[in-house]
Amino acid sequence: MAKAFALFIFVVATLVSQNTGNVMRLQGCGGRVFVDEAVVIDAPLRVDCVWEFETQEDRILVVSIVNGNLNDAEEYFSIHDGTDSDSPILRVENQKIHEVSRKDLPQSVYTTLPEASIRFRKTPTSNLQLRIQKAVPCPFNLGLDSQCGRVVDELSCYCATFTNRVQTDQTMYCIDNNMKLISFENATEEQIIQSTWGTPR
């Protein structure tokens, strides 16, 4: 007999749309920006520009490049986990990736804090644009009977627990881990979840 399992989700309340209607575009050389919707910055035409970003306290930031490879572009800037002058540099190759995360998602760097800075050290030779968005943290330590990943998009986190629990215990487990039981927003989301973890029996 197969184990029943419950899926639960911790998502950004309103997912950021990828269309240009919800994107704030920044140009120039530096500043401080609160990230609620997606922010796209154009690389400055001179060096030593510092952009500082922050979002709400229970979120993190995710940085990706528009139309390009983040690894190749890192020679022009550094992404820091925080806004202090000694904040650690974040790199694509050092990011932990959940086993069940989609492999076709944009190459991204995730902060561990709700603030980050991007420091340009070299003028790009081509049009370089960075997208900064708020995302939910995705846990790695829920235990052996759980699995998490960015299975729908790079902003949300879905987790499955394979332990049999009654509804109230499952709800409490989710609350204790700052998550909520899943309710599918659309058929596409449901299909992605089912293909990731299979159909519960």
In the structure encoding, which two tokens stand for residue 14, read together?
């309103």
- pLDDT tens profile 64-115: 999 888 988 889 999 999 999 999 999 998 898 888 898 889 899 999 999 9
In the structure encoding, which two tokens stand for residue 182, read together?
């899943």
CB 16 within 8 Å of CB 134: yes
Kindly list the distances between the CA atom of residue 196 and the CA atoms of 28, 78, 142, 186, 187, in Å, as whole numbers in the listed order: 42, 34, 18, 16, 14
Predicted confidence at residue 129, as pLDDT, reads 92
Say what percent of the chain tops pLDDT 90.
37
Residue 22's nearest CA partner among 42, 36, 43 is 36
CB 148 within 8 Å of CB 138: yes
Task: Delimit the domains of the chain by residue range.
Answer: 6-13+137-197, 20-135
Instruction: With H, G, I as helix, E, B as strand and everything else as coil, classify residue 80.
Output: strand
Predicted confidence at residue 199, as pLDDT, reads 55
**Alpha-carbon torsion, ordered 13, 10, 114, 106, to 10 deg:** -90
Element (H, E) at 70: helix 70-73
Contacts of 97 (CB under 8 A, 6+ apart): none
pTM score: 0.82
Range in 2-6, 66-70, 145-149, 189-193 the model is least confident about:
2-6
CATH topology of domain 20-135: Jelly Rolls (2.60.120)
In the structure encoding, which two tokens stand for residue 49, read together?
């520009």
Predicted confidence at residue 133, as pLDDT, reads 96
Q: In angstroms, how far apart are the furthest CA atoms of the chain?
A: 64
The residue whose two tokens read 């979840």 is 193
